[in-house]
Amino acid sequence: MRKQIKSNKFCTILFLFLFIHFHSYGQIIIEDSTHAVNIAMQNSSEIILQGISALTNMKISKFNIRDFLPSVNFTFSDNQSISQFSADNTSKSLTLAVSQVIFDGGQRSLSYKISNMSNLYAYNEYEQAEKLFTTQILNQYYSVLKNVEIARIKNDLLNVAKEQLVIVEREFQLGLITETNYLEFYISYLETENDKTVSERELERQIQAFKVL
């Protein structure tokens, strides 16, 4: 139970941190990994355009079957002749012509198959691109979570080191430890401080990469 409360606290810190950094983007709050993927998909023009193109071509390919259907032509004529010495003559005709390609060496069939295969391949490429992009988002999302935890641990270690430094300095003043012992601990303290700074920079880098995605 205590572990769950601590985990929720970490997530709250992360989402607050993301909220602050996304402030200029309309106050976007990342709720969970699924929400992160949805936002990324909605704002990726490359994925959107690739999907529209693939789906449009798939739909168009369905209409290519018309090349194999008979073509029908209607012709209507209306003729009138007027004569002074005989009755007027009026004729109307409607002509229906149906034509069907019987054999073209398989060219139409081959073209139809190639078109369908090409469109199917393009759609599969779109699906793969979408899956790859989703994986990138999830990896970056959890990378941010990991670095939030690392930064928290480094910060806790520095706070402990600060408390110990006060004690060590007092012991050195009282002559309980040598100057060498004091300097060794002080160097260790500086390394801990540097580790905290490095972890915060790495967290910032991961967040920036996450924002770009």
* Maximum pairwise Cα distance, the chain: 145
| pLDDT top residue among 210 and 28 | 210
Reported confidence tier of residue 21, pLDDT bands at 50, 70, 90? very low
Q: Give the pLDDT confidence of 40-67 residue by residue, as tens digits.
A: 888 888 888 888 888 888 777 766 655 5
Is the model's pLDDT at 194 over the cut of 70?
A: yes
What is the value of pTM for the model shown?
A: 0.61
Instruction: Check if the beta carbon of residue 22 is closer than 8 Å to that of residue 28.
Output: yes
Across 53-187, where does the E strand assignment appear? 71-81, 89-99
Q: How confident is the model at residue 68 (pLDDT cuts 50, 70, 90)?
A: low
The span from the CA of 36 to the CA of 43, in Å, is: 11
What confidence category does residue 103 fall into, taking pLDDT thresholds of 50, 70 and 90?
A: low
- Say yes or no to pLDDT of 24 above 60: no
Which residue from 29, 19, 14, 33 is spatially nearest to 152, judged by alpha carbons?
14
